[in-house]
Amino acid sequence: MNHESPVNITLRKSRPVTAISHFGTCNHAHAPILAVREGVDSEDALVCAVAALKAAYETNAMALEKAAEPLRSLLVATENSLEKGLALTEAVLQGFEAE
């Protein structure tokens, strides 16, 4: 008898990966000393981006507690930009998790 076992082959779409991106140039005073590595899974890269944005948000919040005008207005604008970036990256991560 030929007992064929059902094989569940789920084809997973490959996700995008990172390209190389340099940073750490001290406003272009020298060649970059740091880089995002090429070929990192996009979901892993987004997890790192969320962590970095959360750290920046917390640092900005601490500065905002101590700042007076006109610096306070700049920090509020930065807080708004960080919130947008964090919301966008978290939404993309949630999209990956829903797949």
- The predicted model scores a pTM of 0.78
Q: How many CA atoms lie within 13 A of 21 on its CB side?
A: 7
Cβ-proximal residues to 47 (8 Å cutoff; 6+ apart), any chain? 93
Distance separating alpha carbons of residues 12 and 66, to the nearest angstrom:
49
Q: What is the pLDDT of residues 18-77, one digit of tens each?
A: 999 999 999 899 999 999 999 999 999 999 999 999 999 999 999 999 999 999 999 999
> Omega into 16 within 30° of 0, i.e. cis?
no
Query: What are the residue ranges spanned by the domains of the chain?
Result: 42-98
Strand partners, 22: 35
Cβ-proximal residues to 76 (8 Å cutoff; 6+ apart), any chain? 64
